Structure 1
Amino acid sequence: MTGYSKVKNTKFVTPIGTPTQVDGGRVLIERLIHLFKLRNRIELADLIGVTAGTLSTWTTRQTVPHELLIRLHLATGVSMEFLCFGEGDQNQDVFAKSYGSTVPVYKDGEAYIPAEVAEKEAMFKLPELEAFSIENGQLVAEAKYVISDNLAAVIGIDVIAADKAIHDDSNIVFINSKETTPTYGRYLFSIADIYQLGELRMLPDGHVYLFHDGEKYPINPATTKIHGKVVSVLESM
């Protein structure tokens, strides 16, 4: 039996192929107020980054803010079963995944970060990838991306190997700057300080060539610098 057939014919607690009806509106709002031990909707709105008017709209329309449920689960560790349906422990610990406070800690009159907090901050801090575009042959810094290992696995990119991202048309390519010896693949390189992405190959004659539109062009190592290899591509739909 193929993987598709096995999954297709398996009964799951939550059906895979149909939308799940989860709690929204007033029920969800009151659940979150109870969960975080808040006094009212105003505190909840401030906590989750929306306005009181937004909560009123959720109540009227029985809105289910799916992104918020995912965010709260990732931030606190509170189960999705509880957030979506109110099932399970009604007094879950929302601080289980916390690692510090925004309220400064003072010692001898000076603010400091306790060692255990600093250790946890380092543990939870995600690596940043600086993103560039190539404009008129020059690298132009655009943004910094923070991508968790879990998200990287879902979308199929290798952020462990990558240390730089390049906007290439409507796609994002991820570069490993340590791979500077061209063998076979797509590379970020510059010729006379003009940057570009292209397919490079080392052929049996020991020389490296740029392949483009069915043609190959020899690379002059005196004027060409390899800045890294493309290890993953995130394509837009």
Structure 2
Amino acid sequence: MSEEKILPFDYIKGHEFTETLKEVTGCKTFLEMAALFDVPKATFSTWNLHNRTSHELIVRLHLAKGIPIRKLALGEEDSVEYPIESSLPSSGGLVIRENSAEFGYGHHSTVLLNSYCLANGQLIETGEIPYPVRRMNSFNLNAENIIEVETNEAIYLVDKSSTDAVSGVYLIDVDGLLSFNRIQRFPGKKLAIAFGESTIEAKPEDIKVIGRVAVTSKKD
């Protein structure tokens, strides 16, 4: 077995990425790009703020307009595409499945999750982000029910199929504002909801559960 490794590239992110989008599309403002890509204008500001990129838009522009991926992902002017070595299995390479959004092959398969930023009590779309199928399976998660939500404190994988608060950390909607809170259910249909250092008692109908936090990633 070959010991060759294919390491991640130094993808452009944030301001550099959104400026590249303006360059290749001819758009001058985020409002024009929002109309072109059919995404909220705030999404581009969020990418700049959190230094993010959108792999989905890279693929979309390449497929729709033929813009070189190296230009969109790396900011390079060289339009030469480098094929994957033929030593890979004949069924390998890049495969995008319309329904499952899976691509790759074998243990390297990946799913695209919808990604959001939680800011001022609202979810802001930030595009899609790839996650290893192997990792999703190890957590026993169904990718169709999972979204990624990023805050200043951590990155959460939220299971939207779990909307009945029992015990754990949940993404909830209280009067139109979203937040992550630890919830414990007690007899009598009562919920103890942690808000910072304090805990309040509420009824299930007082909140809307968006989903339960399945995985939390944070920097130590």
Output the TM-score relative to the length of structure 2.
0.50
Greater Rg over alpha carbons, structure: 1
Output the TM-score relative to the length of structure 1.
0.46
